[in-house]
Amino acid sequence: MSTDEAVIVGAELAAGHDGTTELVVRLRHPGGAENAVVLDEDVGLALMARCGASHVDELAGHSWRRIMEAGDGV
């Protein structure tokens, strides 16, 4: 895992405003600060597929770039 760029450190499921399940991804940035990135169902599923994850816990350790790729692929 590279430490000079933002990395996914966890993910949780949440209820979204539009009535679907959302993916709340926790991202750790260089320096240690963290924030939550909320992905809609389509992007969340695409992120799991792109990371080869079949469980949300398997997203930890992947680069922030996978989120961007997932979003652009939807």
Partner 1 sequence: MALTTQRRFTTPGPDETVEELASRALPGEPLEAAVDRIKSWNLHIFAGRKPAGLLLGSDVVFVEPPLG
Partner 2 sequence: MAYDVVVRNGLVVDGTGAPSFRADVGVKDGRIAEIGAIAPGAGAREVDAAGRVVAPGFIDPHTHFDVQLLWDGAARPALEHGVTCVVPGNCSLSLAPLKAADRQRVVGMFQQIEEMPPEAFTTAFDWSWEDFAGYRRAIEKALSINVAPLVGHSVIRLWVMGAAAQERAATADEIAAMQDLLRQCLEAGAVGLSTSFVDIDENGRPVPSRFAQFEELDALSATLGEFGRMLQCVPEFYDTDITIARIDQLSELSLKHGIPTTFSPVFDSRATPNNVPRIMARVEEQFARGARVWPQMQTRPIDVSFSLLRPSLFFARLPRWVRVLRQPVEARLASLNDPETKAKMVADLGADGGERMMGKLVVRGGDAAPADLIGKTLGEIAAARGQAPALALIDLSLENGLDVAFLAASTGHEDTDRVTPTPANPLVHIGASDGGAHISSFSTYGDTGYLFSEFVRKGGHLSLEQAVAKITGETADIWGLKDRGRLKAGLAADIVVFDPDTIDREAELPAFDMPGDGMRYVRGARGIDTVLVNGQVAYAGGAYTEARSGVVCV
Please give the residue ranges that form the binding site for partner 2 (CB under 8 A): 12-24, 35-38, 41, 44-45, 48-49, 54-57
Contact 27, 34 (CB under 8 A): yes
Helix (H) and strand (E) counts in the chain: 2, 3
Amino acid occupying residue 22: E
From partner 1, partner 2, none, which one binds at residue 71 (CB under 5 to 8 Å depending on kind)?
Answer: partner 1
Q: Which is nearer to partner 1, 57 or 72 (CB)?
A: 72
Q: Which is nearer to partner 2, 5 or 42 (CB)?
A: 42
Q: Kindly state the smallest distance separating residue 20's Cβ from partner 2, in Å.
A: 6
Give residues with Cβ within 8 angstroms of 60, minimum separation 6.
8, 9, 10, 11
